[in-house]
Chain A
């Protein structure tokens, strides 16, 4: 049984999605129960995988390997595309995060009343592809899930979103598709440059991550050979491909200036989809970048380290400034995501243990905290259908439970120690400071981000929650405190944020070894 655990993560939601789709009309209300049960199951599986993962071992664990497509390319050789699943210290935190965020998303979706069947079908398909992205070890398979994520997301935003949902959905899909096209180019190039052991004396091209990461597997003299000097537009092709990856995953992450789809998508998406989008979808960008961009193009990545860090710092500062200017709470939080994900790039660019671990931790922690933040927005939106900060004042008096959750979420995201956000930011910065590849200016400027995040979050907190209670009289005055479901959801996420804030070894024990192996593979 355990050898198929990872497959279960993909196929359980997929199957459930198909079942939901085929449910007859009278059973439609049960789709939400099914989604929650399946999400719980996948969370349990990912927890089990997380628990039984042995951090001391190098390499991938829970490996599953099946031949899938063997394409005869005639005189070139054979394309070998395999179904390979596995986790290591880098992907495992993301799998766990996916479990947590997707369950939170499924539970918070219960407020969706319109066409629940279709909603949950798309939701489950999305879950399946998200898991797939993090556990596939074949570039082709990864790309399959990476692209497939777009479709359910498109409909989830486009059908259940806000007023400008169609615009946002279209923008989202075109933007991210452009990014994935860049990744496709790289995938093609890599697939055709890497040799697997030959079959019947014929060349076998592979997409196996384990082989792609090893420089000696590249066909000598091929365009992607480390020593290749083939250039295009006066740039070495390897560098160009790396830039393509940087942009491709940068769009997903998102990194300024490729971020503009994010505020629109977030503002228009329904609460639970924002949760999933910010909580886990953005992390695919970071994960892909470290696994593929840095893993397979180490020399280019190191050469570009100042650029990567620079983009990260730009995002931190730029996102924060934009967040300050927002009056829409959801938009504010969307921009704060841009700002916080900048730390991921900064940490990665450090190319040392602290930085990369910090970047991964930042992804994990942002997953939990941004889920919380979007749920926080959802609470208020459910009550009044308005998210403009200036319409509220002094909510703390009327909604103390809510305010408590907001305080955890806000302070967590502004990097208060004891909550997970601090760990990620701290170690990313520490990595930046101790990295030989980066100027000390990068982390020093990034530190400004923690001031700015305090400004926009606490300013919003002050404007909305403190002072005398008042709600714009045009809005319905139904400011009840959290319902049981909402409090359970928010406070369990809050609990996780604090747990991972005081006990980071829970995650670092797993990631540390993965990062060590990673650094060793790329020769550092």
Chain B
């Protein structure tokens, strides 16, 4: 008993970052429960959240990877999870700043949800046990549903329910898959399943099925096909900073979870993954082509981007996951930037429709140029790190192919890259309207505020800087 306790305690001591997050959530609850609702109320909530995120980031930054399981092999703290957690917290901080610079007046519960997602994600990223994985994934999901539906408007509610139904379905499928895995291996911890499956002589097909089923949870988080349906509606309905967060953070969790799961089920996943990738890119790209609303477009684009991110996992080489991790990091900056840009545009035009953006950059030249960088990055053109990211993941594909991989890999390579060329059509709708179209009749009376521009510039600089020095992230992943 005591041994167990001391194990728990030592384990706990490794999780300073998570504890800080938890503490922050507590503080928020205290303030919401007992705090005075004066003019500073919101600011205080916001500051506490940001402080928590920053503090937690600092703590995680200092922590070292230990390759032995904690909490009775419920969680595993390796360098990959540390990197991913840092990414989650950076995203959290960015979103919080986004909320501030756009002067959102959010209720306190929102902050709890945001930190809650971060908190659950941290555990999800460390999960090395089907149970801990499930619990963490579910708590991410729950927080996300609430974040979407909290606004209590009919549209939000509808989107929330849609989100929920899909989430629940995906979870159910995953749960079923997990139980098959458990049935096959008699084990719940990843390590145990891996060993049991490797030594056992299980039917490949069954394993394949189990793998597909179990992947449905993280695929849902990634909004990858075929678990993508929720994305456009949810993207359109949810307040911009929140959807920005939901477009980034759960994706991080989903990506690394897939990596883990692929690692434990030792079957050839190339076809499954290639299928998911091709489908996501196809659906995301082509559906985005027809959109007239920027947020919906971003929803579909997110589907396609998930496909691209997953490309790095083909073959499950360390190079590949590093490429995917790099893509993910760049994606954080690009997506946060893109949503911030859309938010600023909305502030001036009260619309996310492309056509209302006409001529915007003529008034705000600098804003237009900085905004352009994100679209260029999402397309994947140099000199932005979006290009480097695509370059790296496809490097992985070629390497896999060259080392005797499936012929389908070359299809993924060609198809994926051609889709890059197609994607410029919809990504460039924003600069197209902002730069090329003459301004509409109504004048833009407001200015882009300095904090907005500063944040936008920082993100843009990040997107560009990572092109010129990708080693900053690349060499810090492992």
Contacts and interface: CB of A to CB of B under 8 A. Distances in A.
Interface string B463-478: 0000011110011001
B407 A165 contact: no
B172 interface: no
Contacts of A76: 317, 319, 399
Contacts of B322: 72-74
Nearest to B321: A74
Contact of A185 (B317, B319, B402, B414): B414
B478 A74 contact: yes
B369 interface: yes
Interface string A159-195: 1000001100110011001101100110011011100
Contacts of B413: 185, 188
Interface stretch (A141-149, A328-336, A415-423, A505-513): A141-149
Nearest to A75: B318
Given A170-B432, A232-B407, A71 B470 contact: yes
A423 to B, nearest CB: 36
B436 A144 contact: no
A375 B392 CA distance: 43
B317 A74 contact: yes
B410 A188 contact: no
Contacts of B432: 158, 166, 170
Interface stretch (B195-203, B239-247, B249-257, B420-428): B420-428
Contacts of A70: 471
A338 to B, nearest CB: 22
B453 to A, nearest CB: 14
Interface in A50-81: 68-76, 79
B318 A118 contact: no
B417 interface: yes
A189 B322 CA distance: 19
A151 B375 CA distance: 11
A73 B319 contact: yes
Contacts of A173: 424, 428
Contacts of B394: 184-185, 188
A150 interface: yes
Given A174-B425, A185-B417, A147 B387 contact: yes
B383 A181 contact: no
Contacts of A33: none
Contact of B318 (A74, A177, A191): A74
A81 to B, nearest CB: 9
A222 interface: yes
A159 B436 contact: yes
A178 B421 contact: yes
Contacts of B436: 155, 158-159, 165-166, 169
Contacts of A165: 436
Given A74-B319, A169-B436, A177-B424, A151 B381 contact: yes
A144 B319 contact: no
Contacts of A180: 421
A158 B435 contact: yes
Nearest to B323: A73
B292 to A, nearest CB: 16
B127 to A, nearest CB: 23
A180 B401 CA distance: 21
B365 interface: yes
Nearest to A79: B395
Nearest to A232: B410
B403 to A, nearest CB: 9
B201 to A, nearest CB: 29
A115 interface: yes
Contacts of B376: 151
B451 to A, nearest CB: 20
Contact of B435 (A68, A144, A159, A189): A159
B362 interface: yes
Contacts of A154: 428
B398 interface: yes
Nearest to A189: B398
A313 interface: no
A21 B361 CA distance: 13
Interface in B101-158: none
Interface in A1-57: 21
Contacts of B402: 189, 192-193, 222-223
B383 A177 contact: no
B391 A188 contact: yes
Interface in A277-317: none
B285 to A, nearest CB: 13
Nearest to A146: B382
Contacts of A177: 381, 420-421, 424
A72 B323 CA distance: 10
Interface string B427-462: 010011001110000000000000000000000000
Contacts of B382: 143-144, 147-148
Given A118-B365, A151-B376, A155-B435, A69 B399 contact: no
B398 A188 contact: yes
B383 A144 contact: yes
A340 to B, nearest CB: 27
B418 interface: yes
A110 B74 CA distance: 70
**Residue in A68, A181, A192, A223 with the greatest tally of chain B CB atoms within 10 Å:** A181
Contacts of A79: 395
Contacts of B392: 71
Contact of B417 (A184, A191, A223): A184
Contacts of A147: 381-382, 387
A158 B428 CA distance: 12
Nearest to B401: A223
Given A74-B317, A75-B318, A144-B382, A178 B418 contact: yes
Nearest to B436: A158
Nearest to B420: A181
A192 B318 contact: no
Nearest to A231: B407
**Residue in B322, B376, B382 with the greatest tally of chain A CB atoms within 10 Å:** B382
A223 B410 CA distance: 12
A118 B366 CA distance: 11
Contact of A192 (B395, B417, B475): B395
Contacts of B424: 173-174, 177
A174 B474 contact: no
Interface in A195-229: 222-223
B317 to A, nearest CB: 7
Given A188-B394, A191-B395, A75 B421 contact: no
A155 B394 CA distance: 29
Interface string B153-191: 000000000000000000000000000000000000000
Nearest to B433: A166
B365 A72 contact: no
Contacts of B468: 68-69
A73 B395 contact: yes
Contacts of B318: 74-75
A185 B410 CA distance: 10
Contacts of A192: 395, 398-399, 402
Contacts of A170: 425, 428, 432
A188 B428 CA distance: 25
Given A147-B382, A151-B381, A184-B391, A71 B418 contact: no
Contacts of A69: 468-471
Contacts of B435: 155, 158-159
A169 B424 CA distance: 12
25 contacts: A21-B365, A69-B468, A71-B470, A71-B471, A73-B322, A74-B317, A74-B319, A75-B319, A144-B382, A148-B382, A151-B376, A154-B428, A155-B431, A155-B435, A170-B425, A173-B428, A174-B421, A177-B420, A185-B413, A188-B391, A192-B395, A192-B402, A193-B402, A222-B402, A232-B410
Given A76-B317, A155-B435, 5 more contacts: A72-B475, A73-B395, A75-B318, A178-B418, A192-B395
Give 5 closest A-B pairs by Cβ, nearest first. Answer: A74-B318, A177-B421, A158-B436, A144-B382, A181-B417
